[in-house]
Structure 1
């Protein structure tokens, strides 16, 4: 592991995405073990707006981040299809990387970059932030304790209304469409609850001919034991993000599963044939939690191998889904 020369992790930010402004950077600057030292953008005015709020030096151009001695690690919230290039260049420069999901758009690239990070003693972590919220551990415990009997099925959805024209997600070679952006959430939730050994039974994608991107779709997966997972995603819907687990004696339902605010009190519903209860869970800050996990891994050698294995399983599954998906032009 490459050591850090200070007590605080000196973070650079590569890209001025909305998620960084609204959620990740506020959590980052609130962490006593982090110092934001630089923000890079193709537009210096955007970088300056970020540094005025969060601190650090504004930089024009992403490559200007790579040789800075005051940056130990880089957070990369760039559009999806730019991730692989800048992860590799950042690792090659000797810096740890926290990257927004998806890490890449292929299993081979994800595997190669994780191997590169390990060979250089660097931490590479993909930010599927919802996995760091305590509500999902509470659900897993209920299932393990038999609250709904034997697990019979899983379903998850993440849909949003259409974005404004020109949004990065509508750019095929940059944002990559709805499946890479939103579809990854229910897929990763299925991996989280059912394991990585999932078979792709089928998938249907609605493909916008004008934009040349996937707009929405549905996916059916299955475990080796025959437990199905029904997944829905898209950016031409009303807003929805939830999942449910169905068992032999009941079911568990949870809303706001992917993007809860840090003040949100999750309400977990457990329904059986003759009984229904609602459990109010503690609020949690998933962005602060993932920043903390990354910092601990870099500064103190915390183990992120389980998350990295999840990234590999996710990348392989995403690839298989894309291979079997039926496309319908809209």
Structure 2
């Protein structure tokens, strides 16, 4: 491929307008070809802002000859349908998380992409931040001994009542929206051998989806993971990794702004050390990783996406129907 990668955007969701489209526009290796919406006026407004072509309707965008790759920021319940449609036109896809609302459907999409030699990447951005690779290196170098326990939390304040994340028909709910972050972090550090041993999902008053939850997972060895998530809480975004000889703490773990100075807390031998790193823009890093994968035709560790989807379903199964109701 020569020249910039020309991306078409299926939808004008908030994450697309606030984060991804600015990152696409800032990357010299990418050009925004077109933005589609079912609302023609919305497509025009967004396209004018980012200097690209507006398209009325998602099917119409997939008919554009100059679109080389597709970004899917639609509601979760629509991810699978339009990701498959884009793949079947022969285009690589960057899709918002979760890739689908069922692990079997996720497997089908990954298999379709593989069969057609196309990159399919789920937009879990924090894994592209350098800080987490630095933590992995510390663990690999024995800084905390053998990993024993991982605790992670991602919680956010209440959303406006009409937010799509409160709508079960659109794939809403805390598990797939915010729970995916601590779960993916547990996979990132403890590996795909994790299995769910317990889970709880609860609904806030008057809600039709779960608004909070927690899960306990374990590896075949001695390590355990505890994750907490919710979307009607005080803000929390952090993880701790405890080993046989020390521990590592990370705050502002999952959605740090681009100018945030990342800090890793290393605690051992009765002493604590702060390891400060240079700021890193994980949105720009994600966009660059997708473009590089498209150009090379390879995507690192697609298995993590499938294992994550399987574990999301495991958590949902462990939280029996009678347990999903809170005080509402």
Task: Indicate the TM-score class for this superposition, using the shorter chain for normalisation.
Answer: over 0.9
1:304 aligns with 2:299: yes
Please list every run of 5 or more consecutive structure 1 residues that lacks an aligned counterpart in the other structure.
none
- The equivalences for 1:98-137 within 5 A come to 98-137=94-133
Return the TM-score normalized by structure 2: 0.95
Q: TM-score, normalised by structure 1?
A: 0.95
CA shift, 1:68, in A, is 0.6
Alignment partner, residue 28 of structure 2: 32
After superposing the two structures, state which structure 1 stretch, 153-162 or 242-251, moved more: 242-251
Count of residue pairs brought into register by the alignment = 324
Q: For 1:213, what is the secondary structure of its paired residue?
A: coil
Aligned to 2:63: 67
In structure 1, C-alpha distance between the alignment counterparts of 2:189 and 2:40, rounded to whole Å: 42
- 1:263 is aligned to 2:250: no
CA contact (8 A) 1:151 1:227 kept: yes
Does residue 202 of structure 2 align to residue 206 of structure 1?
yes
Are 1:206 and 1:214, in contact at CA under 8 Å, matched by a contact in 2?
yes
1:87 aligned onto 2:83: yes
Q: Which residue of 1 aligns with 2:279?
A: 283
- Distance, in Å, in 2 between the alignment partners of 1:72 and 1:233 is 36
RMSD over aligned Cα, in angstroms?
A: 1.3
Corresponding residue for residue 324 of structure 2:
327
Distance 1:300 1:271 in 2: 40
Distance 1:247 1:119 in 2: 41
Give SS of 2:132's match.
Answer: helix
Matches of 1:110 and 1:209 in 2, distance apart? 31
Question: What is the CA distance between 1:209 and its match in structure 2?
Answer: 6.5
Aligned partner of residue 268 in structure 1, secondary structure: strand
The alignment partner of 2:210 has SS state of: strand
8 A contact 2:101–2:171 mirrored in 1: no
User: C-alpha displacement at 1:282, in angstroms?
Assistant: 1.4
* Contact 1:172/1:211 (<8 A) preserved: no
- In structure 2, the gaps of 5 or more residues are none
